[in-house]
């Protein structure tokens, strides 16, 4: 596929999206900034975009192998990937298996507590409003998606959760929570954003902590996770 990068389509917290000479495809270019605490803190390290790109590629291929449709097409460069150009739904679907992030404060739960069942939360993707938590009725009233699309997002988010938790279990890694976004391609919903430590909490099973030395060494987390993923997917 001979794609050429052209104009900038969008710029988010973790990557830029570029148009190409083929209107069906775009190029997702990952930054070297490590996002923490919902984008409120950035930690830079050289090569982070490369590591994110490689981790995301492995996970997207695992999802595809499990019949979960994604926008991922293939690698374009060390820090960028070819993706199908999708019409994004302005909804973030958050899957929580443990109490982390904003959940303990909002609901009075003990941090690191394993939830009795996985929880789905929805956020309205709007930086100016701080991506507020919404429910499905907000989504319908604001015309963010249809009822059929909400059902499809919920179903696939839980499927993704099972695939990720089963995969990570082999490496003694816990999937505490993660965010997934969906987009329309030819009227069909598919996973249209990354899955990486940018948008997920992957914890060491023994410590219930990220593998980043309590936030002091984010590079260690990305390198460790990539090494573990390679060890279990190269079998």
Given a contact cutoff of 8 angstroms between Cβ atoms, the answer to whether 179 and 92 are in contact is yes
Complete DSSP assignment for 188-218: EEEE-S--STTSEEEEETTT-SBSSTTTT-H
Which pLDDT does position 14 carry in this prediction? 87
| pLDDT band (50, 70, 90) for residue 235 | low
pLDDT at position 37 is 45
Count of C-beta atoms within a 10 Å radius of residue 218: 23
Check pLDDT > 50 for residue 21: yes
Given the structure tokens 């982070």, which residue do they identify? 48
Interval 21-30 mean pLDDT: 97
Boundaries of every domain in the chain: 5-84, 87-217+229-233
CA distances to 1, 89, 107, 108, 147 from 139, rounded to whole Å, are 37, 10, 22, 26, 9
Write phi, then psi, for 54 (nearest 5 degrees): -75, -40
Locate tokens 């270019």: which residue?
Answer: 29
CA 211, chain centre distance (Å): 17
| Average pLDDT for the chain | 93
**Residue 42: predicted pLDDT:** 63
As a whole number, mean pLDDT of residues 185-210 equals: 95
Closest alpha carbon to 33 in 13, 53, 18 = 13
Name the nearest CA neighbour of 28 among 14, 12, 17, 41. 17
Q: Which CATH class is domain 87-217+229-233?
A: alpha beta
DSSP structure class, residue 70: B
Q: Residues of the chain with pLDDT > 90: what percent? A: 85
pLDDT of 141 higher than 90: yes
pLDDT for 41-96, tens place per residue?
566 788 999 999 999 999 999 999 999 999 999 999 999 999 999 999 999 999 99
Q: What class, spelled out in words, does domain 5-84 have in CATH? A: alpha beta
Indicate the pLDDT class of residue 213, thresholds 50, 70 and 90.
Answer: confident
């Amino acid at each position: 596929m001979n794609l050429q990068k052209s104009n900038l389509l969008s710029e988010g917290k973790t990557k830029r999206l570029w148009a190409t000479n083929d209107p069906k495809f775009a190029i997702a270019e990952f930054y070297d900034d490590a996002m923490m605490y919902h984008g409120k803190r950035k930690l830079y390290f050289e090569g982070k975009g490369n590591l994110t790109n490689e981790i995301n590629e492995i996970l997207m291929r695992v999802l595809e192998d499990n019949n979960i449709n994604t926008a991922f097409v293939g690698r374009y460069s060390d820090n960028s990937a070819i993706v199908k150009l999708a019409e994004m739904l302005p909804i973030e679907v958050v899957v929580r298996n443990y109490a982390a992030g904003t959940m303990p404060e909002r609901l009075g739960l003990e941090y690191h507590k394993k939830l009795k069942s996985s929880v789905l939360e929805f956020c309205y993707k709007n930086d100016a409003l701080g991506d507020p938590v919404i429910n499905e009725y907000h989504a319908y009233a604001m015309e963010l998606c249809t009822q059929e699309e909400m059902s499809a997002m919920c179903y696939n988010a839980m499927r993704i959760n099972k695939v990720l938790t089963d995969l990570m279990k082999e490496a003694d890694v816990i999937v505490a929570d993660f965010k997934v976004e969906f987009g329309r391609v030819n009227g069909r919903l598919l996973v249209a954003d990354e899955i990486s430590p940018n948008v997920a909490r992957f914890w060491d099973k023994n410590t219930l902590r990220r593998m980043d030395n309590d936030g002091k060494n984010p590079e260690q987390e990305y390198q460790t996770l990539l090494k573990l993923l390679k060890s279990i997917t190269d079998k």
